[in-house]
Structure 1
Amino acid sequence: MRRAVVVGSATAAGVILLLSLKPHQGAASAAAPISSGSSGSSGSSGGSGGSGGTSGTSSAPPAQASDTSGTRAITGDSVDTRYGPVQVKVTLAGKKITRIDVVRYPSESGRDRSINSYALPVLNQEALSAQSAAIDVVSGATYTSDGYTRSLQSALDKAGS
């Protein structure tokens, strides 16, 4: 009988300790837009003061910008997901995707930031490799993956690719 009381008390204490732990949150990781260029690197861009996640305004950036070298940047539609909007901006050189910037993504909670810190670079790399929006979803980030591919496809449709 004494053994059962000791085991029960130890189990209860362990559960209480586990529930009182708070996960580590890297707030700086979601501060800048996620981008990936043709060099194959992925991660967040070098800016430190960006507003990475969802913005309070409903106006979208210009849909298309081009320079004299034939590259152009097209912003896809903002796609509402269960956890917030997702929007990408694609840079094209001719018909080749050279860079993808994720300008809006869910970042309200620590869980959103954690999921998107690994999912968005994977999605960027997949899309650059495939040169299209026909990519697989990232496990654990299904809603973000769906919003990403829909926004990317809308940008490619606007570009005529």
Structure 2
Amino acid sequence: MRRIAIAVAAKVSVVVLLFSYRTSTDQTPVATGRPLGGGSQPTRTTSPATPASGDGNGTFTGDAADTRYGPVQVRITVAGGRITDAQAVEYPRESGRDVRINSAAVPALNEEALQAQSAQIDTVSGATYTSEGYQQSLQSAIDAAHR
């Protein structure tokens, strides 16, 4: 009888340990498309884009784009008809998950905007809603630069 109780307790312990095991805690989003250091041409999204060209020099803030997790708003600086700086000034930061995802996604999106010189930028894996909101607000800022 005693052996049966010990065997059952051991099996229950193993089952509990298996169900409580966490396989990964790293949920850092990774930019899709262009590999670091160059490589093949990235696949671009299909959002409408207008290149930042013309004589609209200055700083322009796009309209805030509402996303599932909160608004995203982008500010660009245009000089000589080119985007010289792109910064997300508003993006979801309410939860620890928002902070973890967007701390990697937003810098990647800022860099993509500078490289693309348009709102046709790669979506960041794991930050789809932020990426889509960023694209919308970026296009709004580019449109404001053309007015």
TM-score interval (norm. to shorter)? 0.5 to 0.7
Amino acid at match of 1:9: S
Quick one: distance in 1 between partners of 2:87 and 2:18?
44
Write the deviation string for residues 108-136 of structure 1: whole angstroms up to 9, x where unpaired.
00000000001111111111111111012
Larger Rg: 2
Q: How many residues are aligned here?
A: 112
Amino acid at match of 1:82: R
Quick one: distance in 2 between partners of 1:7 and 1:90?
60
By how many angstroms is 1:138 displaced? 0.6
2:11 is aligned to 7
Please show how residues 9-48 of structure 1 align to structure 2 within 5 Å: 9-13=13-17, 15-16=19-20
Quick one: distance in 1 between partners of 2:138 and 2:113?
9
Unaligned stretches of 5+ residues in structure 2: 27-55
2:77 is aligned to 91
1:105 is aligned to 91
Quick one: distance in 2 between partners of 1:80 and 1:149?
12
**Pairwise CA RMSD:** 2.5
Quick one: distance in 2 between partners of 1:148 and 1:128?
13
By how many angstroms is 1:7 displaced? 3.2
Amino acid at match of 2:13: S
Please show how residues 7-156 of structure 1 align to structure 2 within 5 Å: 7-13=11-17, 15-16=19-20, 71-156=57-142
Identity %: 54
Which consecutive segments of 4 or more residues in structure 1 shift more than 3 A?
A: 1-5, 13-18
The change in CA–CA distance for 1:93 and 1:3 in structure 2 (over 3 A counts) is same
TM-score, normalised relative to structure 1? 0.62
Amino acid at match of 1:158: A
Query: SS in structure 2 opposite 1:99?
Result: strand
By how many angstroms is 1:16 displaced? 4.8
Unaligned stretches of 5+ residues in structure 1: 25-69
Quick one: distance in 1 between partners of 2:112 and 2:78?
16
Write the deviation string for residues 4-36 of structure 1: whole angstroms up to 9, x where unpaired.
541321331464575xxxx79xxxxxxxxxxxx
By how many angstroms is 1:142 displaced? 0.5
